[in-house]
Structure 1
Amino acid sequence: MSSPLSLGAVSAVLRNLLDNGLVDTAPALGTVKVTAVAPDTIAVDEPDAPPSLNLFLYRVTPNQGWRNTDLPAYDGDGARRTNPPLALDLHYLLTAYGSADFQAEIMLGYAMYLLHERPVLDRAAIRRALDPNPLGPSILPPAFQALTAADLADQAEAITVTPEPLDTEELARLWSAMQAHYRPTAGYVVSVVLIQATKPSRPALPVLTRGPVDRSTGRDRGVVVEPSLLPPFPTLERVGIPHARQAARLGDTITLFGHHLAGASATAHFGHRLLDEPNEVAVGTVTDPHTIEVPLPSGADAERDWPAGLWTVTVSVVPPGAAESRRSTAVALPLAPRPSLPPVSVARDAATGAVTVVLDVRPRVRPAQSARLALGGTEAEADEHRDPLAPLTFRLPGLTAGPKWARLTVDGVESLLVDRSAAPPVFDPGQAVDVPS
């Protein structure tokens, strides 16, 4: 396969082909300058400008034949398994510039004839065009010397040069976009250039058996077909929280809904951004393939190890007939904080009128977590808290006296002010704070 230098290498090979071909087949034209630059950089108003041909790469498109042959793949350890090539088609404009009558037409005719006679860029021609040794490396510009490392001649598929008809509307758009004076032009497409990474890869070993092998017959189990549109793997779809609350609390029993959840040794894994390893809750044997009930822990240890905020839940289970456990997809679980009311203290500053609330929270709020307290319509951020065992301090300016509903938000998850176990729902009377005057 080729390297990323291949685009420049193709242009260099085509320019070399035209340059040498005009010298051999059309000596009567004299010296013809062959370039590969943008048309707007060519001076066309100079009276003594020599005749020239210009090859301009104006578009690059994916090759449809090679585009979907492979995709980048990695194994379970993150090691690269494949290096799929980047397959490209290169679209060129071949333009002739001449100041005398019929000069441009004659040069364009010879150039098109040369490309017609060489519809395939063979490997020997590519190597000759890119090899600087005959001329000496000091004669060639550094950019051209680098193209020898393109490995263009070693790619798997040959490079073809094919005319690409361009109608007057497309030509008008191209030359208007380039803001250059139109000259006799022909379009060509060069296909295919294969650019491939040289990163080390580790291909997968061949498959010898499909499933367990029967020792008596020596035959493998074969492909297991399941008549369902659902993937045959443990999958979680959502979390059910008691009384349809928006967040769970420690001590709740949550319900995980999904499919293919039945099996032995089921374990729920709870991940949090502040934990290096997820917390695990053993469930045991599950008979219902669609639901798993998981009790959340409670008590002092849980308040220390289960911070409030957003959690991700997965389940590992050994399916029936399988020997190893499988891990499910993940779903989100918001775990709400619970303010201990009444607060430790509520005091108003006589000078400023601001109210300071010292509040204990369960689960414990860690130093890396954000906490906000809203009393009525007034909200404030917690002061810096470095000790997770210490209560939080909030300073709320402009707070009027009287009972206020309290809402505590930790890492984006709000405490449960509404009691949804009642019908209709009501505010939890235990979630109010009496603000002194």
Structure 2
Amino acid sequence: MSGPLAIGGVSAVLRNLLDNGIVQAGPAVGTVKVTALAPDAIKLNEPDSEPSLNLFLYRVSPNAGWRNAGLPGFDSAGTRTANPPLALDLHYLLTAYGTADFEAEILLGYAMSILHDQPVLDRASIRTALQAGVVSGSILPPAYQALAAADLADQAAEITVTTEPIDSEEMSRLWSAIQANYRPSVGYLVTVVLIEATKPVRSGLPVLTRGDPAANSGREPGVFVHPDLLPPVPTLFRVVPPAPQPAAALGESVRVEGAHLDGTGVEVRFSHPALAAPIVVPIGVNTRRDVVDVPLPASPGADAAWPAGVWTVRVSLTPPTETIPRETNTAAMLLAPVIRFGGATGAVRDGGTGDVTATIEVSPEVRPGQRATLTLGGAVARAQPHATVTDTLVFACGDVPGGPQWVRLAVDGAESRLILLSPKIPPDPPAFDPVQRITVP
């Protein structure tokens, strides 16, 4: 593959090709200067102006055939695993400049004939044009000395040069954008240029066996066939709180449902955005293939260790027929806050403004970065800032009608339980939990 200097290398090779072709034409065209500049940089009104050809790269586009080769890949540890090439098409404008009648037309005809005779930039031509060993490196321009390291001749695909039709409207827009006087021109498409990064990548070793060798023969057991539509490896489907609630609470058990969850060394890992490391709940041996029942702690220390909100759950286990532990995918779990009624929980009304301030004791404790909102009756308020982990939140609720008001607390998207849901089949109609109320003065 080529390096980042490949685009400049292509321009240099094309200019060298035109320069050599014009020299071989000899007296038929005379002395001609071949450049690779922007057209507005070419001076046309100088007394010593001479006939010239100019090759201008006006557009670069991704190559349609190579653009699906892939993107730079990384593994779970962030290590690069692949360096797919950057595939480009180069669009050039070849322009002839003359100082006498028909001179520009003659030059353009010779230049197009030269490029037509060599539609493929072969590796020998590229090396000849770019390698400093052909001529003394001291007389080469600094830009050419750098292009010798482009590795353009070593890329996998050959580089082709073909004419690219440009209609009058597009040509007019192009020269207007360049802000230069129009001269006889023709478009060329050069494809494909492959630029590959040289960053180190990580590659896995070849696979020797699929699974652990059998104890009696020492041979690999081969591919295990599962006569069902379930995933072949331990997989989680969902985390189910105690029926029929939408979220779990500390002190309850949740059921992790999935496939192939039986095994030894079973551990359930709970992760939360507010925690630097996951909380691991050891289960030991699990004999059921479809579920793992996990008790959530209810100790005083759990209030500080288990913040409310959205958790991700992952299970690690060693399947019965294997010796290496496996890790499942993740599933989401909501851990609801619980309002502690009595104690500090209550509401007061300001005698001057009539605004209501509510104080809520909550379990588990709320961290400074968590978003907590309270719905008191129909008023919604956000918790006042607190610098430390706390189990008491204060809300300025504004004007709230007096009397008993239903109350809901939401922490990071997980709401306290206001509605009583029936586990019966068929279920009883839902109803508000009469405990979830605060009397507003």
Question: By the TM > 0.5 criterion, same fold?
Answer: yes
| 1:58-77: CA deviation from partner (whole Å, max 9, x where unpaired) | 44444566555666444554
| In 1: Cα distance, 2:152 partner to 2:91 partner | 17
Aligned 8 A contact 1:26 1:110 in 2 = no
Kindly provide the CA deviation profile for residues 100-147 of structure 1, in whole angstroms up to 9, marking residues without a partner as x: 44433322221122223334434454344335684765873x555543
Q: 1:358 and 1:240 mapped to 2: Cα distance?
A: 31
Change (3 A) 1:216 1:73: farther
Distance (whole Å) between structure 2 residues aligned to residue 231 and residue 91 of structure 1: 50
| 1:162 corresponds to 2:161 | yes
Residues 76 and 431 (structure 1 numbering): CA distance in 2 closer, same or farther, change over 3 Å? closer
Task: Pick closer, same or farther for the CA change 1:279–1:84 going to 2, 3 Å.
Answer: same
Could you tell me which of 425, 428, 435 is aligned with 2:433? 428
Amino acid in structure 1 at the alignment position of 2:386: H
Query: What SS does structure 2 have at the residue aligned with 1:242?
Result: coil
Alpha-carbon shift at residue 39 of structure 1 (Å)? 5.2
Per the normalisation by structure 1, the TM-score is 0.85
SS of equivalent residue, structure 2 residue 18: helix
**Correspondence for 2:171:** 175
Q: Is the 1:256–1:293 contact (alpha carbons within 8 Å) kept by the matching residues of 2? A: yes
Q: Comparing 385-394 with 396-405, which one deviates more in the overlay?
A: 385-394
When residues 163 and 311 of structure 1 are mapped into structure 2, their CA distance, relative to the original with a 3 A threshold, is same
1:370 aligns with 2:371: yes
SS class of match (2:81) = coil
Determine the structure 2 residue equivalent to 1:415: 416
Which residue matches 2:207?
207
Where 1:162 maps in the other structure, the secondary structure is: strand
Unaligned stretches of 5+ in structure 1? none
Q: How is 1:55-74 mapped onto 2 (pairs within 5 angstroms)?
A: 55-63=55-63, 72-74=72-74
Confirm or deny: 8 A CA contact 2:74 2:82 kept in the other structure.
yes
Question: Which letter maps to 2:320?
Answer: P
Alpha-carbon deviations, 1:202-223, whole Å to 9, x = none? 3322223333234664533334
Contact 2:363-2:391 within 8 A present in 1 as well:
no
- How far has the Cα of 1:273 moved from its partner? 1.4
Q: Which deviates more, 45-54 or 366-375?
A: 45-54
What is the distance in 1 between the residues matched to 2:265 and 2:130? 65
**2:263 is aligned with what amino acid?**
G
* TM-score where L is the length of structure 2: 0.84
Question: 2:362 touches 2:391 (CA, 8 Å); kept in 1?
Answer: no
Where do 5+ consecutive residues of structure 2 fail to align? none
Could you tell me how far apart the structure 1 residues matched to 2:15 and 2:244 are? 72
- The verdict on how the C-alpha distance between 1:266 and 1:136 changes in structure 2, with shifts beyond 3 A counting, is closer
> Structure 1 residues 215 and 108 mapped into 2: Cα distance closer, same or farther (>3 Å)?
farther
Q: Using the TM superposition, give the Cα deviation of residue 157 of structure 1 relative to its aligned residue in structure 2, in angstroms.
A: 2.8
Contact 2:212 2:323 in 1 (8 A): no
The answer on whether the counterparts of 1:342 and 1:433 sit within 8 Å (CA) in structure 2 is no
- Rounded Cα–Cα distance in structure 1 between residues aligned with 2:76 and 2:360: 46
Distance 1:174 1:26, change over 3 A: farther
Distance 1:379 1:198, change over 3 A: same
The CA deviation string for residues 1-36 of structure 1, in whole angstroms up to 9 with x for no partner, is 321121121112111221232122243323333333
- CA distance in 1 between counterparts of 2:230 and 2:62 reads 34
Q: CA deviation at 1:322?
A: 1.5
Quickly say closer, same or farther: Cα 1:242–1:195, change in 2 above 3 A.
Answer: same
Partners of 2:231 and 2:167 in 1: CA distance: 51
CA distance in 1, matches of 2:38, 2:439: 77
Counterpart in 2 of 1:108?
A: 108
Aligned letter for 2:159?
A: T
Alignment CA distance shift 1:335-1:216 (3 Å): closer
Deviation, 1:188, is 3.4
Q: Which 10-residue stretch deviates more, 226-235 or 46-55? A: 46-55
Write out aligned runs for 1:239-278 (5 A). 239-278=239-278
What is residue 340 of structure 2 aligned with on the other side? 340
The whole-number CA distance in structure 1 between the counterparts of 2:171 and 2:42 is 13
Per mean C-alpha deviation after superposition, the further-off stretch among 184-193 and 274-283 is 184-193
Q: What is the match of residue 327 of structure 1?
A: 327
* C-alpha contact 2:119 2:162 (8 A) present in aligned 1: no
1:161/1:188 contact within 8 Å kept: no
Structure 1's 241 and 202: CA in aligned 2 closer, same or farther, altered over 3 A?
Answer: closer
Kindly provide the amino acid, as one letter, of the partner of residue 161 in structure 2. T
Paired AA for residue 148 in structure 2: T
In structure 2, what is the Cα distance between the partners aligned to 1:161 and 1:102? 30
Contact 2:159–2:193 at 8 Å: present in 1 too? no
Compared with structure 1, are the counterparts of its residues 423 and 49 closer, same or farther at alpha carbon in structure 2 (3 Å cutoff)? farther
Is the 1:249–1:337 Cα contact (8 Å) retained in structure 2?
yes
Alignment partners' CA distance in 1, 2:137 and 2:258? 70
Deviation (angstroms), 1:314: 1.2
Listed as ranges, the matches of 1:2-17 within 5 Å are: 2-17=2-17
Q: By how many angstroms is 1:311 displaced?
A: 0.7
For the aligned residue pairs, the C-alpha RMSD in angstroms reads 3.3
Q: Secondary structure at the match of 1:149?
A: coil
8 A contact 1:313–1:331 mirrored in 2: yes
CA offsets 1:295-315 (integer angstroms, 9 cap, x no match): 322232322211111111111
Q: Aligned to 2:80, what secondary structure does the other structure show?
A: coil
How far off is 1:429 after superposition?
0.9
Identity, in percent, stands at 52
Q: Give matches, 1:122-201, under 5 Å.
A: 122-131=122-131, 134=135, 140=141, 143-153=143-153, 155-157=154-156, 159-166=158-165, 170-172=166-168, 174-180=170-176, 184-201=184-201
SS of aligned partner of 2:366: coil
> What's the counterpart of residue 87 of structure 2?
87
Cα distance, 1:387 vs structure 2: 4.2
CA distance in 1: counterparts of 2:145 and 2:33, whole angstroms:
20
Cα deviation 1:37-72 (Å, max 9, x = unaligned)? 455766789999644323233444445665556664
Deviation at 1:361, TM superposition (A): 0.7
Paired with 1:147 and 1:254, the residues of 2 have a C-alpha distance of 64
